[in-house]
């Protein structure tokens, strides 16, 4: 068997990095002798996360364009040219069999140069509203793996394969872990458990909401597991002194936290949405309005359209949260409908299906 070589590029946020790592892990399992190289933005989180996962990474001098005039914007043309030259150098030296992009600024110049050198290329779009990098690459790459229906509005129909987003396989059977989850977080089985997720760094709007509404939530006979994020932990950790409340900077056993939860409040990043579909619990999405093209709102809307979740926008929290939460916590039938409908959307074999598409490119 040939020792294949793969380059993967995706970064800037965990939503681009972790799918790339999941794909690499699955390819490594299939081809143990294969060589892997990641390419990211030299000053972003992938430069730490990828080596921690056991892979080599090289950084490009690239960043996105800000919405206002900044020095970084003025430097963008120089960064782009530099990144294109370095990408070409990497491709000539490493000689990949396939290049895979999962979004983020670095994947743009890398996949652009890969197509110029006639290297088979695949992109994976996590969101229901395609990112600008993947939209620009769509005409040049061979295959586009997506997680939502209707993506032909962004990409050529003949290149699209609906695979879903790579997710942790330990979430598929979380129902078997409910007792372990309750024990891990010392939760009372007779109370409903609310799990609050704002991402690994945290979400200011969600944290402020919970800080303000915590007593109201507790009054509904609810106990709280609250991932505040590293950035906000010091500000909110004192709430752990309240009975039935646990504030954590980061949850490292998400499968157990999901298993213990009855209701979840979450951002609507693509990775979170895909995980939560596997989990199949009632979710209130509070999407971040500050991400590119407002794609979190669009992700949440795509789920709400299937009657599989509830969407609350940040600017409506003050007026709508209490009524929405109280209605949901009191209506177990509604909880079951949302959870069941959400689970129908799940695509648990996404990573393997993406690997199958990569294999087709290897055979071309």
Known binding site for UDP-N-acetyl-alpha-D-glucosamine: residues? 13-15, 127, 168, 200, 251, 296
Radius of gyration (C-alpha) of the chain in whole angstroms: 21
**CB-based contacts of 92: which residues, under 8 Å, 6+ apart?**
117
Q: How many residues does the chain have?
A: 364
* Helical packing angle, 295-304 and 270-279, nearest 10°: 20
Q: Is 96 exposed, middle or buried (0-12, 13-18, 19+ CB in 10 A)?
A: buried
Annotated binding-site ranges = 13-15, 127, 168, 200, 251, 296
Alpha carbon distance 126, 154 (integer Å): 13
Q: How many other C-beta atoms can be found within 10 angstroms of the C-beta atom of residue 126?
A: 29
Task: Report how far apart, in Å, the C-alpha atoms of 325 and of each of 68, 116, 182, 191, 235 are.
Answer: 37, 52, 22, 15, 24
Q: Which two tokens stand for residue 97?
A: 């069999």
Number of Cβ within 10 Å of residue 150's Cβ equals 10
Q: Is 102 exposed, middle or buried (0-12, 13-18, 19+ CB in 10 A)?
A: buried
Q: What is the DSSP string of 36-90?
A: EEEEEETTSTHHHHHHHTT--EEEES--PPPSS--HHHHHHHHHHHHHHHHHHHH
């Amino acid at each position: 068997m040939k020792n294949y070589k793969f380059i993967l590029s995706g970064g800037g946020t965990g939503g681009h990095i972790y799918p790339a790592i999941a794909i690499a892990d699955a390819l490594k399992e299939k081809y143990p002798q294969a060589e892997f190289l990641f390419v990211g933005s030299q000053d972003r989180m992938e430069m730490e996360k990828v080596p921690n996962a056991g892979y080599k990474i090289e950084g490009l001098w690239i960043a996105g364009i800000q919405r206002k005039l900044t020095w970084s914007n003025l430097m963008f043309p120089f960064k782009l040219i530099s990144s294109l030259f370095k990408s070409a150098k990497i491709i000539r030296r490493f000689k990949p069999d396939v290049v895979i992009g999962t979004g983020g600024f670095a994947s743009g110049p890398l996949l652009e140069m890969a197509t110029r050198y006639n290297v088979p290329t695949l992109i994976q779009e996590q969101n229901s509203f395609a990112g600008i990098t993947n939209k620009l690459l769509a005409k040049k790459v061979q295959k586009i793996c997506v997680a939502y229906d209707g993506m032909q509005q962004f990409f050529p129909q003949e290149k699209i394969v609906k695979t879903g987003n790579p997710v942790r396989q330990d979430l598929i059977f979380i129902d078997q872990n409910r007792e372990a989850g309750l024990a891990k977080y010392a939760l009372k089985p007779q109370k409903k458990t609310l799990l609050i997720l704002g991402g690994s760094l945290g979400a200011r709007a969600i944290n402020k909401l919970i800080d303000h509404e915590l007593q109201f939530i507790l009054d509904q006979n609810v106990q709280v597991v609250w991932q505040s994020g590293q950035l906000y932990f010091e500000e909110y950790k004192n709430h752990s002194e309240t009975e039935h409340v646990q504030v954590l900077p980061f949850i490292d056993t998400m499968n157990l936290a999901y298993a213990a939860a009855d209701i979840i409040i979450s951002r609507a990043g693509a990775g979170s949405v895909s995980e939560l579909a596997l989990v199949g619990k009632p979710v209130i999405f509070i999407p971040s309005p500050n991400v590119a093209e407002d794609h979190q709102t669009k992700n949440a809307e795509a789920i709400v359209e299937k009657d599989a979740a509830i969407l609350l926008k940040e600017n409506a929290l003050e007026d709508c949260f209490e009524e929405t939460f109280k209605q949901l916590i009191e209506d177990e039938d509604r909880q079951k409908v949302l959870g069941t409908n959400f689970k129908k959307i799940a695509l648990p074999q996404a990573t393997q299906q993406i690997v199958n598409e990569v294999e087709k490119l290897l055979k071309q």
